[in-house]
Amino acid sequence: MSAKDAQSLETICVHAGVVPDPQHGAIMTPIFQTSTYVQPAPGQPLTYDYSRGGNPTRAALETSLAALERAKHAISFASGLAAEQAIMQALEPGARIIVSEDVYGGSGRLFRKLFARYGFQFDFLDLRDLNAVAAAIDSKTKLIWVETPTNPLLRIVDIAGICALAKKAGAKVVVDNTFTSPIFQQPLTLGADIVVHSTTKYIGGHSDLIGGALMTNDDELAEKLRFVQFAGGAVNSPFECFMLLRSIKTLALRMERHNSNALAFARALEDSGDFASVIYPGLESHPQHALARQQMSGYAGVVSVYMRRDMEGVTRFFKNLRLLALAESLGGVESLVNHPEQMTHASVPPDLRQKLGINAQLVRFSIGIENVNDLIADVRQALQR
């Protein structure tokens, strides 16, 4: 059976892209730590000629990543932002781009501080409001940049709804699928043109590497994006590709546990009454729970809360936690806690932060795969001490 025939994601995770090495039968894809390849005759390489252009370990990873998003093409990058940068560099300068107003802080910085200087125009909108999106689209709009669930407020954007609007206008849709992983949401099947991942997060899953990926079914777009990567060089190392291949084998298992832990954690915090509010798309109290259920098959591991404390009290809460570590990032096996206003979202313009509700009281958890009762107990003792 070839991995392509396997339909279920759990099986794809274990098998896709990985074939026994023809020389020795090694079941794991070797780390081809090489920059160049010997050619039998000038200009006639066997498969690869230089590792910026291609490498067997990276190719195995790309096959696996494509299968996960049910995509024809996947391109693996040095980081999530390097992948995003390639999308921007594949556009013609001067294009208008509609972006989620609460887009990942680093993406916002890339757009506002770097690409705005090259004549791109960004319209930051609340993409939950499809009427506002329809009104903002014009003939110069080439791209709609969706993130769902958003970070850190976990708003849900109707992917199919946005894609229908974009299609009418001839614009492409990018979905940043980092927050759910391909296990719980598959934007290409809902009409998106490109999926972007920070593989640093759930796909890597062990807080030990930086990586990114793009997936698409569009041959022409894939060729453009590959050219940008080849010309610019934002590739990840064979070692990191190997680490990602290893991580993907347990992706479905890990996501299942992230999901069940986060739901139990969110319910316990909500039931405790100790927080002003608890935000998680899997909770019935989430205002878009119905839409989340419709387009996602799980809600992953990020839970946000508003605390009933001032900044001093919030800082004391962080200090009192014993198990949950205060750190940026998310999606690893270990649970983390983050203060968006001071940490991950410090680069968001202050007035936008205020409008979105990213304030001193907002705390974001990335729930790992520990025993959830230990996590709930940690929060409880940190509140009481």
Ligand X SMILES: *Cc1c(COP(=O)(O)O)cnc(C)c1O
Angle between helical axes of 80-89 and 219-232 (0-180°, round to 10): 110
- Closest distance to ligand X from the beta carbon of 217 (Å): 21
What is the C-alpha separation between 228 and 219, in angstroms, rounded? 14
Q: Tell which positions 78-97 bind ligand X, by CB under 6 A.
A: 79-81
Looking at 201, 258, 267, 345, which residue binds ligand X (CB under 6 A)? 201
Helix and strand totals (H; E) in the chain: 14, 12
Query: 361-373: b or e for each residue (b if 16 or more CB lie within 10 Å)?
Result: bbbbbbbbbbebe
Q: Does 261 bind ligand X (CB under 6 A)?
A: no
Contact letters (x/-) for ligand X, 43-72, by CB under 6 A? ------------------------------
Q: Does 106 bind ligand X (CB under 6 A)?
A: yes
Beta bridge partners of 277: 306
Active site residues: 52, 104, 176, 201
Selected range binding ligand X among 38-46, 99-107, 233-241, 332-340, rule: CB under 6 A? 99-107
Q: Which residues contact 261 (CB under 8 A, 6 or more apart)?
A: 301, 367, 368, 369, 370, 372, 375
Encoded amino acid at 261, one letter: N
Looking at 212, 298, 332, 368, which residue binds ligand X (CB under 6 A)? 212
Encoded amino acid at 69, one letter: E
Q: Does 193 bind ligand X (CB under 6 A)?
A: no
How far from 65 is each of 4, 102, 197, 353, CA to CA, in Å?
A: 12, 26, 10, 34
Q: Does 76 bind ligand X (CB under 6 A)?
A: no
Query: 17 or 340, CB closer to ligand X?
Result: 340
Looking at 76, 151, 229, 247, which residue binds ligand X (CB under 6 A)? 151
Q: Does 200 bind ligand X (CB under 6 A)?
A: yes
Q: Does 165 bind ligand X (CB under 6 A)?
A: no
Residue ranges binding ligand X (CB under 6 A): 79-81, 104, 106-107, 147, 151, 176, 178-179, 198, 200-201, 210, 212
